[in-house]
Structure 1
Amino acid sequence: MKSSRIPGFYNLSVEQRRDLLKKELDFSAEELSSLYIKEPLSTETADKMIENVIGTFQLPFGLGLNFLINGKDYVIPMVIEEASVVASASHIAKIVRSAGGFHTEATERVMIGQIQVVGCSDFHAAKQAILNEKEVLINAANAAYPSIVSRGGGAEDLDVRILNEDSDSSYGKMLVVHMYINTCDAMGANIINTMVESVAPIVEEITNGKVYLRILSNYADKCLARARCVIPPELLSTGDYSGEEVRDGVIHAYEFAASDPYRAVTHNKGIMNGIDPVVIATGNDWRAVEAGSHAYAARHGSYGSMTTWSKDQAGNLVGEIELPMSIGTVGGATRVHPLAELSLSLMSIESAKELAQVIVAVGLAQNLGALKALATDGIQKGHMALHSRSVAIAAGASGEMIDIIAEKLIEEKEIRVGKAKELVEEYTK
């Protein structure tokens, strides 16, 4: 991968950007062919992916630039409809790049399968019986999916919990087996579900209880990715604001989110503005990532910020993020959707562990972009400037008129469809 620093990329036409990908990033016309066809995901393929298909639905496919992560350059595919997200992430990545880039790490790829057991005559005895037969259950789970074992993964451990032990309701009291499964580079839903379903009869026999649910958990708190950046204040100065003022404003904004769930929800939505587009572009399950991330933000008993921002002894701004990342680089849509394959190629991703680290770095960048804007000129200035183009299109503008109408809307500080329609009628008379 050559440098992700591509000055002036946003000023190029779509065709020029594609040509630059071929020239600068060594992609062949064949490798980029899915960008040129009107229906990158064929209706025939879509019909095999889900039920009741009537067509496909497209979203803008852009590139996050300037990212330097663990010393490696990344051009990051982002699929999103919201204006300013790609620009904001790229802008912050450029700042962080000047400070040495993002530093990331990830735990092993261990996911969780759950088995629910009810109706035990003695739940504590049943729990101990499961633990006594741990090796038997792990071996049985691995026998159900030998291919993942051959790739170095598979069931590695298990634990048992008793829920609602003091409940008066027979429906509430239950024993839950957690099976910890290394899914390697797969997201692993099918692997996990197959394994826990296969051992369910053995669990019933051991506990003398009744198994109901046996399914993966999307709360993948054993499969974490982390990102960190350290930024000298002089790199943060903007307009009339000094770097120190921006730094302190970002930290105050973070503390607001850390203290108030009403703010934290919007704060974290901004983080997911960076995460979801990469998850979607690579054909992964963004609902699972969303659910796990929000649950992790509430792991201490109240919902708070997914990121932390602080000042170190040298006065630098320090940002950190840690989230569960139940994603994969093999299986599912990642190898079925042509643009998902292209997305992984654009980043030269070698493993799910690496992809998870890239995703959280983008989330951290997007969070800083939002907080920096909020702490200075406000979120609307940059967002609405980019949003003005969408408003112009919605009003009927096309071709060169889009930019003319958009600039006029910004100039008159009236970025709304009604005003844009008036301008379209005026310019087309």
Structure 2
Amino acid sequence: MTSRLSGFYKMTPKQRLDKVAEHLDGGLTEDEKKVLSGKRGFTTEDADHMVENVIGYLPIPLGVAVNFKVNGEDVIVPMATEEPSVIAAASHAAKFSYDAGGFTTSYSGSIMRGQVQVTKLKNPYTKMAKIYENKEKIIRLCNEQDRTLVSFGGGAKDLDVRIIPANGEEVLVIHLLIDTKDAMGANAVNTMAEAVTPLVEKITGGEVVLRILSNLADKRVVRARATFQNPFDGDEAKMDKFLSAHQLAVADPYRAATHNKGIMNGISAVVLATGNDTRAIEAGAHAYAAVSGRYQSLTQFERNGDSITGMIEIPLAVGLVGGATQSHQVAKLAAKILQATTAERLAGIIASVGLAQNFAALKALAGDGIQKGHMKLHVRNMAMTAGANDNQLDEVVRIASEQGKFGFDEINGIIQSLNQNEEE
């Protein structure tokens, strides 16, 4: 399989789906194609099984990013997003890395933290010591809650204890370190944290308040790196602007917030497409960006001759087991297209997309700016908002591109002109 699909953006949705199926090991069945194309897709009844008080559902466009090679394997990446230019930007950036080997990733493991907060303590440091003395008993009780997870090599592995000043007292916070393997693991972690509550209260003589996982998954960190070959054709001014824009994100939290939001444009789109928890990933990423005490970039870029090397380091608590990853038909098919058989592989691909997305944004900022490319791809949305007919959309895009003006007033003017010509 190759992810280099020439002229992919020019194809119809059906042609693109057929091309993805053609390049996928084992292909896609006709029924799976119907699910992905919406001909036999998600229903209100499906939605009612997933959340409460259902009245309908909100479709989100599902596209695929091309040109990706991750750890030596070509990957076609499903992305669910409502924002124009995100998928195109990721595909564009990946093209610059492809001949240099694409993206290489590493994974710290699938350990999640479950927090147990203990209040109303006398001699908290003594109670900390007692928790450590009873560590094996606590871990054993945790693992009795999920023997299936333990049978796959997961489960509670260790704990650490912290004393944190809060609300006028010293609070004991126990971190249960739980290997959730190929699951995101929230339910397993929360169940274990609640199960040990009586034992913890007996050991400490305190009162347990909070018992829940932490979304700052700093023991589930993914790193991805890539070399983007000669993106500016030797233009020194653009190279300097690229590196300067990145350094501002390292130094200034106001820029870093937008910089990291751009990273999450790509990451959240793949997370959503695969049925994972976008809110958990967003919260963990932004918290991780501030662990030094100052909010900054999740990526690093360095010059390497005429090329640029980039690296991203980000916590990614994603899985392929449980929740919508299994219950949502499209999410299951997205994982199939990715050929993601483990959480580690899925996380590596997602991190790679985040790095590509960030590179594309900085490259645009170093050139003509974000708006020119973004607005060109946004024309269809604006034309529909302005009342264009389906048969006018391509012509609106063509005229706006020729004029190089993409404001709403200009788009509206083009549509009025087309309507007037049709009347005549």
Into which bin does the TM-score normalised by the smaller protein fall?
over 0.9
Q: Larger deviation: 403-412 or 332-341?
A: 403-412
Contact residue 66 and residue 93 of structure 1 kept, 8 A: yes
How far has the Cα of 1:361 moved from its partner? 0.2
Letter of the structure 2 residue corresponding to residue 353 of structure 1: E
How far has the Cα of 1:183 moved from its partner? 0.2
Whether 1:229 aligns to 2:226 is yes
Q: State percent identity of aligned pairs.
A: 45
Taking the aligned partners of 1:423 and 1:142, their CA distance within structure 2 comes to 65
How far has the Cα of 1:230 moved from its partner? 1.9
Taking the aligned partners of 1:407 and 1:179, their CA distance within structure 2 comes to 58
Whether 1:143 aligns to 2:140 is no
How far has the Cα of 1:355 moved from its partner? 0.5
> Aligned ranges for residues 160-175 of structure 1 at < 5 Å?
160-164=161-165, 169-170=167-168, 172-175=169-172
Q: Per the alignment, do residues 243 and 181 of structure 1 end up closer, same or farther by CA in structure 2, a change over 3 Å counting?
A: farther
Partner of 1:18: 17
Partner of 1:105: 106
Partner of 1:252: 244
Contact residue 215 and residue 283 of structure 2 kept, 8 A: yes
Contact residue 236 and residue 246 of structure 1 kept, 8 A: no
Q: Larger deviation: 273-282 or 142-151?
A: 142-151
Taking the aligned partners of 2:332 and 2:106, their CA distance within structure 1 comes to 24
Say which SS state the counterpart of residue 196 (structure 2) adopts.
helix
How far has the Cα of 1:249 moved from its partner? 2.4
Partner of 1:88: 89
How far has the Cα of 1:420 moved from its partner? 2.5
How far has the Cα of 1:141 moved from its partner? 0.4
Partner of 1:334: 325
Whether 1:269 aligns to 2:269 is no
* TM-score, structure 1 as length reference: 0.94
How far has the Cα of 1:145 moved from its partner? 1.4
Say which SS state the counterpart of residue 305 (structure 1) adopts.
coil
Taking the aligned partners of 2:403 and 2:310, their CA distance within structure 1 comes to 37
Structure 2 unaligned residues grouped into runs of 5+? none
Contact residue 115 and residue 176 of structure 2 kept, 8 A: yes
Alignment match of 2:280 (pick from 284, 288, 305): 288
Structure 1 unaligned residues grouped into runs of 5+? none
Partner of 1:72: 73
Say which SS state the counterpart of residue 381 (structure 1) adopts.
helix
Give a deviation string over 1:388-411, Cα, whole Å, max 9, x none. Answer: 111111111133311211232333
Contact residue 20 and residue 76 of structure 2 kept, 8 A: no
Give a deviation string over 1:26-68, Cα, whole Å, max 9, x none. Answer: 2221222202335622211110111110001011110000100
Whether 1:199 aligns to 2:191 is no
Alignment match of 2:400 (pick from 383, 386, 409): 409
Contact residue 22 and residue 29 of structure 1 kept, 8 A: no
Taking the aligned partners of 2:100 and 2:37, their CA distance within structure 1 comes to 37
Q: Larger deviation: 319-328 or 36-45?
A: 36-45
Taking the aligned partners of 1:398 and 1:365, their CA distance within structure 2 comes to 35
Contact residue 61 and residue 81 of structure 2 kept, 8 A: yes
Contact residue 116 and residue 193 of structure 2 kept, 8 A: yes
Give a deviation string over 1:232-260, Cα, whole Å, max 9, x none. Answer: 4xx3125xxx3544433221111010000
Give a deviation string over 1:142-193, Cα, whole Å, max 9, x none. Answer: 01111110111000000000001xx6x44x5310000000001000000000
Letter of the structure 2 residue corresponding to residue 323 of structure 1: I
Give a deviation string over 1:362-387, Cα, whole Å, max 9, x none. Answer: 00000000000000111111111111
Q: Per the alignment, do residues 292 and 213 of structure 1 end up closer, same or farther by CA in structure 2, a change over 3 Å counting?
A: same
Partner of 1:424: 415
Contact residue 114 and residue 177 of structure 1 kept, 8 A: yes
Partner of 2:310: 319
Q: Larger deviation: 262-271 or 35-44?
A: 35-44
Taking the aligned partners of 2:308 and 2:235, their CA distance within structure 1 comes to 10
Give a deviation string over 1:100-155, Cα, whole Å, max 9, x none. Answer: 11111111100000000000111001100000100000001001111110111000
How far has the Cα of 1:306 moved from its partner? 0.6
Letter of the structure 2 residue corresponding to residue 107 of structure 1: S
* TM-score, structure 2 as length reference: 0.95
Letter of the structure 2 residue corresponding to residue 219 of structure 1: L
Letter of the structure 2 residue corresponding to residue 383 of structure 1: H
Say which SS state the counterpart of residue 65 (structure 1) adopts.
strand
Taking the aligned partners of 2:149 and 2:215, their CA distance within structure 1 comes to 19
Letter of the structure 1 residue corresponding to residue 202 of structure 2: E
Q: Larger deviation: 215-224 or 16-25?
A: 16-25
Give a deviation string over 1:262-311, Cα, whole Å, max 9, x none. Answer: 10001111000110000000000011000000011111110000100112
Say which SS state the counterpart of residue 184 (structure 1) adopts.
coil
Q: CA RMSD in A?
A: 1.5
Contact residue 405 and residue 424 of structure 1 kept, 8 A: yes
Alignment match of 2:215 (pick from 214, 218, 229): 218
Q: Which runs of 4+ in 1 moved over 4 A?
A: none
Partner of 1:179: 176
Contact residue 187 and residue 329 of structure 1 kept, 8 A: yes
Alignment match of 1:360 (pick from 329, 346, 351): 351
Partner of 1:298: 290
Say which SS state the counterpart of residue 22 (structure 1) adopts.
helix
Q: Larger deviation: 414-423 or 127-136?
A: 414-423
Taking the aligned partners of 2:416 and 2:253, their CA distance within structure 1 comes to 45
Count of equivalent residues: 418
